[in-house]
Structure 1
């Protein structure tokens, strides 16, 4: 294979991917192999949850941990407790089984030093939620002082992140090389 053919194949693969941008207060579930979920995170947390047998997965993006009492408010979608429930229920509706779910967590940065560390609170909440619900926590990347640009392939469970330093936002292009299901890639 010539270099030109390899580059052409990488472009063709990229074109076939359906990119779904997840913003604060949203979640998305898919069983389509061409879907890649994208988000940008600071102190917010994104849970990427996947069932490797049903080959379905999803991502959410929440701003605050929240508590059960918060889900009755007009803006419940900002809260982790609400979005985690919606994500898990969405996965189950797409054929996932709770005992097979595997999760990765990203975000939770401390973006403003002098304010409370809401990023850490978000991360602690998400880990506790997974433990309480009996969902396997495979890791991910939480904390620090930098934002993250995140990609998640819901069918394979593969996740990739790029740290965002200052004003620069790196452009992420998935590599043409084959991937192993369930990997977390840092670059």
Structure 2
């Protein structure tokens, strides 16, 4: 995963799809690039290295809960849903074998002190989620005091990270603060579905 300010030629052509907070996109097209900008948020890039299909999600755990049952509250259930959704989509469109997945994770920056280091909590969450599910990230760029743009080619599995300057980081922090203040957390589907 190169860390640079100039785009490699592979990322400079084709169709770019922006992955916004709450999104999950999966593709096997060779000319698709998924792109997102992260502050405190996390994006996972999951790829089936045999079927050459991959995807990207983008989520923020902005709300804590004191619940002993779920140490991150409803937002972690959303984060878990976002991770499970991406993994399941890649598995269903790919070979269906967990052993063929490679996972890269990005984000979790501390770009605004008013967010009470949500980034560190997001990093802890995604690492624990992967460990609990038996996955190991093949690559990561987490933490720091900056926002980042992440580009991911789902077909090849190549990822590119560009660290953003403080002005861009301030804009990302402002957007995340607005979401955190509104306590907007996209609800995950109800876990206990009863089938007849």
TM-score (norm 2): 0.70
Matched-pair contact (CA < 8 Å) for 1:65–1:80: no
Residue 161 of structure 2 corresponds to which residue in structure 1?
161
Matched-pair contact (CA < 8 Å) for 2:148–2:163: yes
Flag the structure with higher strand content: 1
Q: Deviations over 1:53-87 (max 9, x none)?
A: 1111110000118859627xxxx7xx311100110
Secondary structure of 1:103's partner?
strand
Residue 85 of structure 1 corresponds to which residue in structure 2?
84
Residue 135 of structure 2 corresponds to which residue in structure 1?
135
Gaps of 5+ in 1: 1-9, 170-187
Distance in 1 separating the partners of 2:41 and 2:108: 5
Q: Aligned to 1:70, which of 64, 69, 74?
A: 74
Matched-pair contact (CA < 8 Å) for 1:65–1:125: no
Greater alpha carbon shift after TM alignment, 111-120 vs 136-145? 111-120
TM-score (norm 1): 0.73
Secondary structure of 2:167's partner?
coil
Q: Aligned to 1:32, which of 18, 29, 33?
A: 29
TM-aligned CA distance change 1:136 to 1:35, over 3 Å: same
Structure with more contact order per residue of length (Cα contacts < 8 Å, sep ≥ 6):
2
Matched-pair contact (CA < 8 Å) for 2:45–2:55: yes
Gaps of 5+ in 2: 1-8, 64-69, 170-196
Aligned residues: 152
Greater alpha carbon shift after TM alignment, 123-132 vs 145-154? 123-132
Root mean square deviation, CA, Å: 2.4
Secondary structure of 1:88's partner?
helix
TM-aligned CA distance change 1:159 to 1:65, over 3 Å: farther
Distance in 1 separating the partners of 2:139 and 2:167: 27
Q: Deviations over 1:25-52 (max 9, x none)?
A: 1111111111100000000000011111
